[in-house]
Structure 1
Amino acid sequence: MQDSLITSPSNPRLKALVALRRRRQREDSRLTLLEGYDELGLALAAGVRPRELYFCPELMLDAAEQRDVVEAARSVGAQTIQLSRSAFEKVAYREGADGFLAVVASIERSPDELSLPERPLVLIAEGVEKPGNLGAMLRTADAAGADAVVAAEPVTDWGNPNVVRASKGTVFSVPVAAATTRETLGWAGARGIRVVATTPDTDTLHTEVDLTGPVAIAVGTEKYGLTDEFLVAADVRVRIPMVGKANSLNVATSAAIVMYEAVRQRSTRL
């Protein structure tokens, strides 16, 4: 099949791609952007079916990568469009572009739509505003085998291109959802999922609680932490021991520490 070719950076189709960097446009169109060879490969392996794939041979590291990924996208129904270097640089949103940019369906899901096992391990991020932190938490969730990540009171959407980039595409391999704090707590309670809230204001260490059952580990913003609503409703509060002078850890680091304690406990139990 012959690919379409766009050489002009002012092509209207490229302007539509740039518009997807805006949240309102993503929400209205229910589409988002996915850039990068590795990210695209992971998304395809997770069953994502791109609507369109834009590629630039001049920016690719080798021809084999081009053929494999372009053909894989085409085989699941994607329209493939070749761009000149100047045209691709118009739509690329990250430094060091490697010549791959896809349009995919946005991830819009409520916690009620998640399919969970009997003993789920869930990560809840309340009010986390930085796409880089959300992306890092997704990578941890993917590596730890978490069953879902829920954004409570999300400041940004899961389709934010910077979340996709920071997650290295794992936003498509880990089931994600978004809801209000009240909805998230109600969902966890209705399913018998124990909510473990991270906070420095407790004497209980994260290693001292049982994380082997159905559990949701909750983290909040770096500046304020979890809201009082979340802390009051949580089944247990835990802290990570700190002996330095800083009074907090990066939220993605905190999530990783407690998540991997859950992994340790669960592997010991098997």
Structure 2
Amino acid sequence: MTDLHITSAANPRLKALTALRRRRAREEAGLTMVEGLEELQLALDAGVVPRALYHCPELMPDPHLQAELVDRVRERGAETIRLGRAAFEKVAYREGPDGVLAVVASVTRRCAELPHLDGDAPLVLVSQGVEKPGNLGAMLRTADAAGIDAVIAADPVTDWGNPNLVRASKGTVFSVPVASDDTATTLRWLDERGIALVATTPDTDVEYTEIDYTGPVAIAVGAEKYGLTPEVLTAARHRVRLPMVGHANSLNVATSAAIVVYEAVRQRREQGARRSLSG
């Protein structure tokens, strides 16, 4: 199979591609973009089947990797389109593109559509009203590294298909089970599964290390400016804070999420180690 070859940056097909930078266009088409070799490889590893692959040999640093990636995408039945440098730089949304951009189906899933949570102590991350795609992407990288069972965006401001979120997540938006829903539905979904809610807030005396995360737990973080809403704080079994001894009264939301998530991971690993010794 040979590539379609586009050299002109004015090609109408590229206009439709750049339209996917807009949320409305993504939602109408059910599509988004994955740019970058590392991000696309992770998406492919997660089972994603691209609709089309746009690639530019002039921008790819390793011809062998390029050929391997193109062959891998073709094997999944996707169309491959070779672009000239000017054409690719028009559709790329990142600085210093590496010559790889794929069109894939957007991740659109509600809480009820999440896969079954394995084990008797799932660990879930909930982000309520988080605005910045970079923060959500960073949380997904933490979730992937920590083995989080699901990440739920409650009352999301952005969508999981935002190209900047996909980029910031390094493609882990395709490997971590994610969902979007309103806050009330999210809280009900957690309650029905007996998952205790831990809310992060500066308005408590309980530090994040002082509670038990070894059971079924959902860690909730709120919007960058205002934090979690009273609805979530009221529903929480625990409210915890991170100690702050400087002049700032809070950390970046993605950093806060990572700190609390890894405290949960630490406690769970210690519990597992104790069980192994006692067994």
**Alignment match, 1:238:** 240
Give 2:73's aligned amino acid: A
Give, in angstroms, the shift of residue 80 of structure 1. 0.5
Give 1:109's aligned amino acid: R
Please list the CA deviations of residues 26-46 of structure 1 after superposition, one character each: whole Å capped at 9, or x if unmatched.
001100000000000000001
* TM-score of the pair, normalised by structure 2: 0.96
Equivalent residues of 1:192, 1:214 under 8 A apart: yes
The aligned runs of 1:57-72 (5 Å cut-off) are 57-72=57-72
**Alignment match, 1:39:** 39
Asked if 1:182 is matched to 2:184, the reply is yes
SS in 2 for 1:82: strand
- Write the distance in 2 (CA, Å) between the matches of 1:213 and 1:162: 34
Q: Which moved more, 1:235-244 or 1:149-158?
A: 235-244
Equivalent residues of 1:197, 1:218 under 8 A apart: yes
**Alignment match, 2:275:** none
Asked if 1:265 is matched to 2:251, the reply is no
**Alignment match, 1:88:** 88
SS in 2 for 1:216: strand
Give 2:216's aligned amino acid: P
**Alignment match, 2:132:** 130
The aligned runs of 1:153-168 (5 Å cut-off) are 153-168=155-170
**Alignment match, 1:6:** 6
SS in 1 for 2:58: helix
Give, in angstroms, the shift of residue 222 of structure 1. 2.2
Match of 1:201 among 200, 203, 206: 203
**Alignment match, 1:109:** 109
Equivalent residues of 2:131, 2:224 under 8 A apart: no
- Write the distance in 1 (CA, Å) between the matches of 2:67 and 2:248: 49
Dislocated runs of 4+, deviation >4 Å: none
Percent identity over paired residues: 70
Equivalent residues of 1:57, 1:99 under 8 A apart: yes
Give 1:25's aligned amino acid: A
SS in 2 for 1:125: strand
Please list the CA deviations of residues 221-241 of structure 1 after superposition, one character each: whole Å capped at 9, or x if unmatched.
121110011100111111111
SS in 1 for 2:140: helix
Q: CA RMSD in A?
A: 0.7
- Write the distance in 2 (CA, Å) between the matches of 1:117 and 1:219: 23
Give 1:223's aligned amino acid: K
Give, in angstroms, the shift of residue 243 of structure 1. 1.2
**Alignment match, 1:120:** 122
**Alignment match, 2:149:** 147
Structure 2, unaligned stretches of length 5 or more? 273-279
SS in 1 for 2:206: coil
Q: Which moved more, 1:109-118 or 1:185-194?
A: 109-118
Equivalent residues of 2:137, 2:167 under 8 A apart: yes
- Write the distance in 2 (CA, Å) between the matches of 1:77 and 1:201: 53
**Alignment match, 2:17:** 17
Structure 1, unaligned stretches of length 5 or more? none
- Write the distance in 1 (CA, Å) between the matches of 2:100 and 2:122: 34
Aligned residues: 270
- Write the distance in 2 (CA, Å) between the matches of 1:207 and 1:78: 48
Give 2:151's aligned amino acid: V
- Write the distance in 1 (CA, Å) between the matches of 2:123 and 2:105: 26
Give, in angstroms, the shift of residue 218 of structure 1. 0.1
Give 2:186's aligned amino acid: T
Equivalent residues of 1:222, 1:249 under 8 A apart: no
Please list the CA deviations of residues 186-237 of structure 1 after superposition, one character each: whole Å capped at 9, or x if unmatched.
1100111111000011111111111111111000012111001110011111
Give 1:36's aligned amino acid: G
Equivalent residues of 1:222, 1:248 under 8 A apart: no
- Write the distance in 2 (CA, Å) between the matches of 1:97 and 1:149: 29
